[in-house]
Structure formats: structure tokens, C-alpha cells
């Protein structure tokens, strides 16, 4: 991997670490999710990483997601019945993902989506999500053109509440990347992700 690429990844990782540290420090004063507090636009903030697996003609394609999750509770605009336990959020996920395997490269982009979270117990919630967005990839493969691509994902997971307003996030996602035939080649890359993250709910 080129020195410039390593430098960019290091800067992004450092920025995400600062963001996460600030969020965790603030979490101690916040209550658990379930109701809107104050006038915050984002009611859920988190950092998600993990490991992805897919293959291309040249070999393994192994992205490591580094995702900032920013969610807004839709009850602010679409009130739900008072006895509804689940929470529907719209989210934004900017990301920079180092890629390993047959070649060292990276991905960068952002997705928007919907996530529905349902509390099973006081300490455990389950969720499902759908997202779409764009992704720039630098990998050189005969299967997919580099540069601008579209990204679509579906996922499920659990939140294990560690303290009021803070939870460990464990999930599984399936992602499809292609460019809608804007450029050739366009065979697409399908990737399976196991994810782990830390979520703060306001």
C-alpha cells in the first residue's frame, strides 16, 4: 500500500477515535433511548467496524468497515402511538474502508437508510436496516470498474445495553456494489460483513 494511502487511513482513524471518545464521555449524562430529549437532530451516534468477505477473479476482497452511524428518530416528524415500543430512525453512514486480500486498496463513501429497533428486554434490542448510497473504490479488478459505484445493503443485529444510553452493537450485513452500467466492467461485488460497534442514544 502506498505511503499516501496509509497516511490518509491513519488520519481518518484518528479523527474517528476523537469523535467516539467525545461521544462516550458525553454518554454518562444521557438517559436511555426511547424518548426524544432536547432539540438534538441526531438521536443515535455510533462507530461501527468489523470484517467483510467477498471474492473477485483475482482472489479475496476483504474490506474492513470504518463507519460513523448518525441516526435521527422519525417520531419527531411522524408521531407514533404512545404504546409503540419500537423506534424507526433514518440514518447517515459516512465511511472509509481499508481493503485487503489480493491487493491493498480502500473504499470511501456514504449511505442513507432506515433502521427499525425493537427492545426485547431492558438490556437487549434487535434491529433490521436497509441502506443505499455511493462508494468510491480503488481496487484494480477485472470484475468491477474502480471509481464511483453505488452501494446497497441490508442488515440485522442486536444492541446489548451496557449503561443508560449506551450499547454494544453486534450485526450482520450483506452489501452489493455496482455502477448501474455507467462503466465497464460491472459484474458487481457482493460482500458479507460481521460488524461490531458502540452506540450512544440521546
Nearest in space to 136 (alpha carbons), one of 72, 200, 92, 183: 183
What is the structure's pLDDT at 178? 97
Q: Give the model confidence (pLDDT) of 159-188 as tens digits.
A: 999 999 999 999 999 999 999 999 999 999
CB 111 within 8 A of CB 133: yes
Q: Measured in whole angstroms, how far is the alpha carbon of residue 83 from the centre of its chain?
A: 29
Contacts of 181 (CB under 8 A, 6+ apart): none
What is the structure's pLDDT at 9? 54
What gap in Å lies between CA 90 and CA 93, rounded to an integer? 10
What is the structure's pLDDT at 85? 86
For 3-201, which CATH class? mainly beta
H or E element in which residue 108 lies: strand 105-119
Range 79-94 average pLDDT: 86
What is the structure's pLDDT at 124? 97
Q: Which DSSP string do the residues of 53-86 spell out, in sequence order?
A: EEEETTEEEEE---EEEEEEEGGGTS---TT---
Q: What are the boundaries of each domain within the chain?
A: 3-201
| Stronger pLDDT, 34 or 199, i.e. the higher one | 199
pLDDT beyond 50 at 20 = no
Q: Give the model confidence (pLDDT) of 92-126 as tens digits.
A: 999 999 999 999 999 999 999 999 999 999 999 99
What percent of the chain clears pLDDT 70, i.e. is strictly above it? 80
Between the ranges 7-16, 18-27, 30-39, 58-67, where is the mean pLDDT highest? 58-67
Rg (CA), the chain: 18
What is the structure's pLDDT at 182? 94
pLDDT beyond 80 at 83 = no
pLDDT beyond 50 at 28 = no
Amino acid at each position: 500500500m502506498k505511503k499516501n494511502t496509509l497516511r490518509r487511513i491513519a488520519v481518518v482513524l484518528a479523527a474517528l477515535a476523537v469523535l467516539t471518545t467525545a461521544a462516550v464521555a458525553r454518554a454518562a449524562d444521557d438517559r436511555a433511548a426511547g424518548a426524544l430529549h432536547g432539540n438534538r437532530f441526531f438521536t443515535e451516534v455510533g462507530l461501527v467496524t468489523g470484517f467483510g468477505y467477498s471474492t473477485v477473479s483475482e482472489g479475496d476482497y476483504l474490506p474492513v468497515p470504518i463507519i460513523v452511524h448518525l441516526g435521527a428518530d422519525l417520531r419527531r416528524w411522524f408521531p407514533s402511538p404512545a404504546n409503540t415500543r419500537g423506534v424507526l430512525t433514518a440514518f447517515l453512514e459516512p465511511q472509509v474502508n481499508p481493503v485487503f486480500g489480493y491487493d491493498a486498496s480502500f473504499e470511501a463513501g456514504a449511505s442513507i437508510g432506515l433502521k427499525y429497533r425493537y427492545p426485547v428486554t431492558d438490556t437487549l434490542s434487535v434491529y433490521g436496516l436497509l441502506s443505499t448510497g455511493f462508494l468510491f473504490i480503488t481496487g484494480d479488478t477485472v470484475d468491477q470498474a474502480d471509481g464511483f459505484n453505488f452501494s446497497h445493503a441490508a442488515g440485522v443485529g442486536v444492541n446489548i445495553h451496557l449503561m443508560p444510553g449506551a450499547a454494544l452493537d453486534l450485526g450482520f450485513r450483506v452489501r452489493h456494489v455496482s455502477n448501474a452500467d455507467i462503466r465497464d466492467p460491472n459484474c458487481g461485488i457482493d460482500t458479507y460483513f460481521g460488524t461490531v460497534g458502540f452506540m450512544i442514544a440521546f
